[in-house]
Structure 1
Amino acid sequence: MRHEHHVFYNPPPSTPAAVHAALDRGDMSAALNAMVGTVLYGDGDRKELQELHLRLLDHEDHQVSALAATCLGHLARVYGQLDERRVVAALRRAQAVPHIHGTAGNALDDFRIFLHPRRTRWRQRVWIVIRPWMWF
């Protein structure tokens, strides 16, 4: 059995046009890097990026659709605002798809943390108080 060492790196900034071009030519590695590059740096138009990743949630390639959910969570972190009603509804629908279930759930957690930080802190405080009582 051979062990491979993977090196983490942040892809360079990208554009939706680069994502579409990579998908059109079938270069999945470049498409995935471009997807992350569009949301990681806060350089683009938030609404355009939101629409791009909402459309990519329905992509036939499992990696692309799962990464689209992650990218929506990144958008919430980077921009601090999205069309929450539409995005949350799309992510909840995506949770029904087995290969997106986990990443959609993580994206919804990102929404709670980054779009509603006060509510998240309140829930954590309540959980700390309630948790010991749940053992009985």
Structure 2
Amino acid sequence: MTQSHRMFENPPALPHDIVTEAVERGLGDTTHEPSAAVALVGIALYDDDRAFIEHCCIEVGMRAESGSQLLGLAGLCLGHAARRFGQLSERAVALAEALATRSELDPADVDGRALDGLDDIRSYLHRGEAE
């Protein structure tokens, strides 16, 4: 019996134009969601431009169709940004809260990663630091 071990590596932050293109493709065609997901995670974990991360997550959160894997991921990525920067815009926090509420009401609409993201926001966002 042969055992196979999967290796997971966090994706790198890609240049903003490539991320924007990947997100747009993912929002327009579900077959491109995996590359959009990789682009979002990469910037959430490693990009130093919080405003760009928030912009991408807000675009996804506002435009992705119900059931898209990108919705829960947008909430999770906002949680990563809160952990890294200690602050988020009020609009980003409101979106994360809305996505988490949708997830609680119907996990087929928005998956549970939105709840994890909101937990991170609540843990890492400094009081009064929503802009």
Q: TM-score, structure 2 length as denominator?
A: 0.71
Unmatched tracts of structure 2, length 5 or more = none
Contact map agreement 1:72 1:107 (CA 8 A) in 2: yes
**1:130 maps to what in 2?**
none
**2:119 maps to what in 1?**
109
- Percent sequence identity is 35
Higher relative contact order (CA 8 A, sep 6+): 2
> Compared with structure 1, are the counterparts of its residues 15 and 71 closer, same or farther at alpha carbon in structure 2 (3 Å cutoff)?
farther
Q: CA RMSD in A?
A: 2.5
Unmatched tracts of structure 1, length 5 or more = 118-136
Match for 1:10: what amino acid? Answer: N
Pick from 73, 85, 96 the counterpart of residue 79 of structure 1. Answer: 85
Question: How far is the alpha carbon of 1:102 from its aligned partner?
Answer: 2.1
Match for 1:72: what amino acid? Answer: L
Q: TM-score, structure 1 length as denominator?
A: 0.69
Alignment of 1:27 with 2:37, yes or no, is: no
The runs of 4+ residues in structure 1 deviating greater than 3 Å are 3-6
Could you tell me how far apart the structure 2 residues matched to 1:68 and 1:105 are? 11
Larger radius of gyration: 1
Could you tell me how far apart the structure 2 residues matched to 1:96 and 1:73 are? 16
